[in-house]
Structure 1
């Protein structure tokens, strides 16, 4: 019995360790703060909602992932507040992440760069500065662009690793508290499409320090909350943000509580602000962000084809783009239950569009080892930056992660052992090599 308990405990701890992976946002020193030499520290104070981080030099996100049985594909970056001097890691960070996990949402607690604290009691140090907001704004002016950069980088990283975290890249949002709310709005106002969250939730944000003011043109729902008795006077900042969103015809929801003060976060005071997070949950549900996604169709590996190519024939510019014909002169293929050769005589009738994307239209035949000829028609796209496309054109060996090469093949076989391919759909991943192309084919179940 003891061994069983130990085993179960080990599995739980193993899952927890995975769920709380800490990810550095930059490989080296964070750009813009390379000269910072102070050390990050954490102060624990129950009166201020638990742990307070300060002197952040190395920005990170900590991944809190839901149980796979609950996961719904939504992800939210959580930005704690602290006047861009400290971060309230529990009350406005980890506690929020755990609540989101229970609703199937992946949470990423953002530890972003803040202004330097010079004492071991950063809260007391900050309180002394709060009496002069103008001077505090001036001090924070240098660090807010860096923090915004960290927020944008976090969104971009999560989207780029959506498959790893089992999330939908079009369901990545951001929420923040106080300075974290300011940061959230700065990100949504200034980001490009790859970095911009799909929805946002600024909670008692400070509007005067927000960078940018351009409301996105694409639908970006917003949830706003604050208290009327906010000690810092930020209540109208929230209503102003809400007004901008409604004027832009964006989906918006605003909650102003009579009591709650500034910084209520996840703390419980036996007043209505105790349930603001439930109203946020209702709003997420309204926008379909808590509904589990249906499982994706399964894939079964069919085969890998090595297609040998001859020198491309360039027709030139046509009304459709640059027409190129690339002869197929042979090759081999092999899979779990099929093997054979690629016959010569086929070609890829390729169009390179004005945006540099190659539209592929390959037609050729393969012959199995048991003598069956199967016709292959393969259409798809190869998307690459101009620099990567130039390397491919020169015949250089390029890492497949540097470009997007996907196709949808149609296979046509005579009656017999392989006739099932006539009634199946297939997906391909392409890998361009200097003298051949690898086509990896999966059957859709």
Structure 2
């Protein structure tokens, strides 16, 4: 599958995420600004968790990648990096409460890691508990040093600003984002191909993403060709202006006003969705930082998931289709 991306929009995505210290800052501080400070911020290598239900998506290994997939714990969660083979892990609801709706969940991590627990498995299980089938997308990532110490050093160097990536004009945004968009398209194709087996309505499959995963979710909705999510959730992703198609899906957005990356660049995405007369709901929480995910905090940002579920119910996704 070849993704075609609107280059001005993709360039802004790549610029926000892959230039300056943006990517490293997201990797190093997304959880620092969110869970209790008591959580251990040390990156500790762990064995690759058992993922018996993970299904390879068939988009192939990431071209040119040499490091093996590796996992580590940090901030009371687990993270994957150097993902070269995309997978999709189903979390299916009890058949007695299944609604027929489904959500593909895209964790974040600056396209260099994936917060598989806080922004993946826990989100998917919570959705399944509400009768919505959920599928965690482990999409392919930009390569990082294989050695954990070298990885930490490279991230610290980027965070300090010592490393200077190529200017955005020299980056090909279509190339930078195409593997992840292809993974998302393959995920939608897989879910729809097995819809009968999984008791899913193929017309009621949406997507929710976090940070980089939110960028992927929006890109999939706008430029993912055959993916066509029924609805999308953008959780602490950038809100730059976009051109909204006439058939754009309902959009749910959650962001904290103290988010260090995306809270101070305006809300063009919201304005554009409204101007196009497409459904949009926007929650701007007073506090929460970046990367709050499913962490329990003493801020109202913890309630984003409950609001998302209410929003799904308002659009009819918490009951079987009549």
TM range (shorter): 0.7 to 0.9
User: Do the aligned partners of 2:221 and 2:249 also contact (CA within 8 Å) in 1?
Assistant: no
What aligned pairs does 1:53-202 form with structure 2 within 5 A after superposition? 53-118=80-145, 119-120=147-148, 122=151, 125-130=154-159, 132=161, 135=165, 138=168, 141=173, 142-192=175-225, 194-202=226-234
Normalising by structure 2, we get a TM-score of 0.76
Q: Which has the higher helix share?
A: 2
| DSSP 3-state at the match of 1:67 | coil
Question: C-alpha separation between the residues in 2 aligned to 1:197 and 1:240?
Answer: 21
Query: CA shift at 1:160, angstroms?
Result: 1.9
After superposition, the Cα gap between the structure-2 partners of 1:239 and 1:23, relative to the gap in structure 1 and judged at 3 Å, is same
Per-residue CA shift, 1:151-194, capped at 9, x if unaligned? 122112211221121101111000100000011011111022x3
User: Do the aligned partners of 2:295 and 2:302 also contact (CA within 8 Å) in 1?
Assistant: yes
Question: C-alpha separation between the residues in 2 aligned to 1:131 and 1:205?
Answer: 23
Q: Which runs of 5+ in 1 are unaligned?
A: 1-16, 295-445
Per-residue CA shift, 1:279-322, capped at 9, x if unaligned? 1111001100111346xxxxxxxxxxxxxxxxxxxxxxxxxxxx
After superposition, the Cα gap between the structure-2 partners of 1:80 and 1:128, relative to the gap in structure 1 and judged at 3 Å, is farther
Query: CA shift at 1:146, angstroms?
Result: 1.1
Question: C-alpha separation between the residues in 2 aligned to 1:94 and 1:52?
Answer: 11
Aligned match of 1:302:
none
| DSSP 3-state at the match of 1:98 | helix
Residue 23 (structure 1) aligned with residue 55 (structure 2): yes
Residue 203 (structure 1) aligned with residue 203 (structure 2): no
After superposition, the Cα gap between the structure-2 partners of 1:279 and 1:169, relative to the gap in structure 1 and judged at 3 Å, is same
- How many residue pairs are counted as aligned between the two chains? 267
After superposition, the Cα gap between the structure-2 partners of 1:161 and 1:107, relative to the gap in structure 1 and judged at 3 Å, is same
After superposition, the Cα gap between the structure-2 partners of 1:188 and 1:99, relative to the gap in structure 1 and judged at 3 Å, is same
Aligned match of 1:270:
298
Structure of greater relative contact order (alpha carbons < 8 Å, 6+ residues apart): 2
Question: C-alpha separation between the residues in 1 aligned to 2:98 and 2:78?
Answer: 28
Question: C-alpha separation between the residues in 2 aligned to 1:173 and 1:188?
Answer: 9
What aligned pairs does 1:337-356 form with structure 2 within 5 A after superposition? none
After superposition, the Cα gap between the structure-2 partners of 1:264 and 1:123, relative to the gap in structure 1 and judged at 3 Å, is farther
Aligned match of 1:390:
none
Query: CA shift at 1:123, angstroms?
Result: 5.7
User: Do the aligned partners of 1:227 and 1:256 also contact (CA within 8 Å) in 2?
Assistant: yes
Q: Greater Rg, structure 1 or structure 2?
A: 1
Question: C-alpha separation between the residues in 1 aligned to 2:257 and 2:157?
Answer: 24
Query: CA shift at 1:230, angstroms?
Result: 0.7
What aligned pairs does 1:212-231 form with structure 2 within 5 A after superposition? 213-218=242-247, 220-231=249-260
After superposition, the Cα gap between the structure-2 partners of 1:150 and 1:136, relative to the gap in structure 1 and judged at 3 Å, is farther
Question: C-alpha separation between the residues in 2 aligned to 1:245 and 1:20?
Answer: 39
Question: What is the root-mean-square deviation of aligned Cα atoms in Å?
Answer: 2.5
After superposition, the Cα gap between the structure-2 partners of 1:94 and 1:123, relative to the gap in structure 1 and judged at 3 Å, is farther
What aligned pairs does 1:320-399 form with structure 2 within 5 A after superposition? none
Q: Which has the higher strand share?
A: 1
Aligned match of 2:68:
39
| DSSP 3-state at the match of 2:109 | coil
User: Do the aligned partners of 1:84 and 1:143 also contact (CA within 8 Å) in 2?
Assistant: no
Question: C-alpha separation between the residues in 1 aligned to 2:237 and 2:111?
Answer: 12
User: Do the aligned partners of 1:113 and 1:143 also contact (CA within 8 Å) in 2?
Assistant: no
Residue 239 (structure 1) aligned with residue 267 (structure 2): yes
Question: C-alpha separation between the residues in 1 aligned to 2:196 and 2:266?
Answer: 35
Query: CA shift at 1:270, angstroms?
Result: 1.5
Query: CA shift at 1:137, angstroms?
Result: 8.2
User: Do the aligned partners of 2:243 and 2:272 also contact (CA within 8 Å) in 1?
Assistant: no
What aligned pairs does 1:393-412 form with structure 2 within 5 A after superposition? none
